Structures are given as C-alpha cells and as structure tokens.
C-alpha cells in the first residue's frame, strides 16, 4: 500500500455531532442490557466447578490477543500507519463483543461459558481496557519513535475511560441482571427479541460512523478489509488454537474461538469519539484508528455468523475429550 493512500486514510475526518454521539451511547447501553438479560447466577456454578475453559478464555481475551496484536502491528510495519496500529490495539484492549452470546448459541457452543466470559470481561474491562491500551500502545509508541514514525504522545485518562465504561456497560449490566432476577417473566419475553435487536442496533451504530464519510471510506475499503480480515483471523485463531492445545471440549473450543474473535468495537468507537479521552486538537489525524475500529464492528459480525453457519450446517462430529 502506497504511503499516499495510508496518509489519506489517517487524514479522514469522521464527523460525529452530539446527536450522533448520544445515539451511539444509547445503542451501546441498550445492547449491553440485552446481553445481561441472559446472565443467571446459577449459570456460573458449573463453570466455576470446572474453571479450566473460563481461565483460558480470560487469558485469550486479556493477555494473548493484545500481545499478539502488538506483534502483528510490528510485523505490518511499512504497510500500516501508527494510527491504524493504535486502532488495532484499541480493539484488542476492548472486551468481548456483545453479540458473542448470540453467535455462540447459533454455533452450538457452550452458552454458559460464553455468558460467564462476557460478564467477567465486561466487568473487568473498566480496568483492563485502559491498562492494556496504555501498556501495548506505549510499547508501540517506543517502536514508532525508533523508526521515526509520527505519532501523538499517548496519554491515557484512566478516570475518564473508567467513567465512560462504567456508565455505558457497567450500569446496563447490573440493570439487566436485576431484571432477570426480579422480573423473570418479562425477561423471558424480552431475551429473544433483544438478541436480534442487538445485532440490528450494532449495525446502525456502525452506520452512524460511516454514514457521513462513505466517499472517503470507499476509496480504501480493500485496504481496510485486508487489515481487519487478518487481525480478526488472528483473534479467532488464538481462541481456537488455545482450546485445541489444552484439549477442551469442542463446545468450549467453539466458545473460546467466538469470544476471542468477537470484540466490542462499539466501545472502541465511543472512546474514540470522547473528546476528553482523545483530544481532537491532539488526535486530529486519527482517521485510521476510527476506520479500523468501525470496520471491525462490521466484519466480526460477518465472520462470526459465517463460522456459526459452517459449524451448524456441516454436521461435523468432533471428538469429545474428557
């Protein structure tokens, strides 16, 4: 990819007014509430009595994905800009995607494990998202400086990120669990529609990002597609490879694959559009970050549903390992 195309990608100005930003925030909170409706405390009992797959999922999500994404960014040096690399690292620092439970169900994976991983990683991301982005983004900053790459100083406002995540993910998570606990009949009526609405609303959220900038995005869509395709393939491979290496049950292996390969890129967009986190006067040319995070929101739905369809339709019998 020519330096001119890479530079033009970073120079993309993503226009997001207050109304659009509020809409994205509401959608993200709504989707998280829908996910929380499926979280039942008793679902954790079986998982906690045999926590092997849960621990593997946490390690994949919080350790392996950010670390290997950093190595991928180093490998792609010369093909991607620092802004694109930071976008990839931000996606890797986010928790698992809100639609992962829905896709796990379609894949005939371990639904209880999926819910447990979503709940844990979402609660932990209040701390782990800023921490991972600070660690791996900081390391990439040092790499960029040694190679004379232009990049703004990376200053992570931990409190602002903590507050944003707590409001948009933490509160809906608690409200959904309380609704499931005290209003079970209403929850049962809402769960199924909320699963499909979550996918639809997430697509709307990404559309709000692309909508006013479609011409700029269309010029570099092949380039964006390739980067996100490879990055997502890496994430899926981490989950599947780890599950295979540690000989987990095939249902757990599917869940680990999906939970690692489906990222909450919607949270990444919210953080990027928050001027108290990414000051527009400092991060004026962060188009590469926004485009990568936004396209992740599209592609991981496509790849996740394709994988689920493949597992569901081919009827392949996998060996159940004790």
CATH (domain of 162)? 1.20.1530.20
Domain annotation covers residue 143: yes
Domain annotation covers residue 70: yes
First-to-final CA distance of the chain: 48
pLDDT of residue 241: 96
pLDDT of residue 305: 87
The answer for residues whose C-beta is within 8 angstroms of residue 264's C-beta and 6 or more apart is 94, 95, 96, 97, 98, 122, 125
Does position 45 have pLDDT exceeding 80, yes or no? no
The answer for residues whose C-beta is within 8 angstroms of residue 108's C-beta and 6 or more apart is 251, 254, 311, 312
In terms of Cα–Cα distance, which of 243, 220, 274 is closest to 104? 243
Domain annotation covers residue 239: yes
Q: What is the pLDDT of residues 177-219, one digit of tens each?
A: 888 888 888 888 887 787 677 667 767 766 666 665 666 667 6
Domain annotation covers residue 162: yes
For residues 129 and 62, what is the distance between their CA atoms, to the nearest angstrom?
A: 9
Domain annotation covers residue 78: yes
Question: Is the pLDDT higher at 211 or at 160?
Answer: 160
Does position 319 have pLDDT exceeding 80, yes or no? no
What is the DSSP code (8-state) at residue 153? -
User: How many folded domains does the chain comprise?
Assistant: 1
Q: State the residue range of the domain holding 237.
A: 16-312
Tell me the average pLDDT across 68-83: 89
Domain annotation covers residue 1: no
Tell me the average pLDDT across 252-272: 89
Tell me the average pLDDT across 288-305: 86
Does position 318 have pLDDT exceeding 50, yes or no? no
pLDDT of residue 67: 97
Q: What is the pLDDT of residues 104-115, one digit of tens each?
A: 888 888 888 888
Among 70-74, 171-175, 208-212, the minimum mean pLDDT is found in 208-212
Domain annotation covers residue 317: no
φ and ψ of 77, to 5 deg = -55, 130
Domain annotation covers residue 3: no
Average pLDDT value over all residues in the chain: 80
pTM above 0.95, yes or no: no
């Amino acid at each position: 990819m020519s330096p001119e195309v890479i530079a033009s990608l970073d120079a993309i100005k993503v226009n997001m007014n207050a109304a659009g930003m509020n809409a994205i925030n509401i959608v993200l909170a709504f989707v998280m509430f829908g996910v929380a409706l499926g979280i039942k405390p008793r679902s954790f009992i079986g998982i906690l009595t045999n926590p092997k797959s849960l621990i593997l999922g946490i390690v994949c999500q919080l350790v392996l994905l950010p670390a290997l994404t950093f190595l991928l960014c180093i490998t792609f040096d010369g093909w991607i800009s620092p802004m694109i690399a930071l976008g990839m690292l931000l996606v890797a620092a986010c928790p698992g995607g809100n639609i992962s439970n829905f896709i796990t169900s379609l894949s005939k994976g371990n639904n209880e494990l999926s819910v447990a991983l979503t709940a844990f990683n979402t609660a932990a991301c209040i701390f782990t998202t800023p921490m991972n982005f600070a660690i791996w983004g900081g390391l990439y900053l040092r790499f960029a400086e040694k190679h004379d790459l232009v990049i703004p100083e990376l200053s992570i406002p931990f409190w602002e990120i903590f507050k944003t995540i707590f409001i948009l993910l933490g509160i809906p998570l608690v409200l959904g669990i309380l609704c499931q606990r005290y209003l079970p009949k209403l929850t049962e009526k809402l769960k199924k529609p909320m699963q499909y609405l979550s996918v639809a609303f997430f697509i709307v959220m990404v559309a709000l990002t692309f909508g006013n900038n479609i011409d700029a995005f269309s010029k570099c869509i092949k380039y964006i597609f390739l980067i996100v395709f490879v990055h997502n393939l890496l994430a899926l491979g981490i989950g599947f490879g780890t599950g295979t290496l540690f000989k987990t049950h095939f249902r757990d292996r599917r869940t680990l694959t999906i939970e690692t390969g489906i990222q909450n890129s919607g949270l990444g967009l919210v953080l990027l559009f928050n001027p108290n986190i990414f000051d527009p006067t400092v991060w004026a040319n962060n188009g590469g970050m926004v485009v990568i995070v936004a396209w992740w929101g599209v592609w991981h739905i496509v790849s996740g549903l394709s994988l689920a369809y493949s597992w569901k339709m081919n009827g392949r019998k996998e060996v159940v390992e004790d």
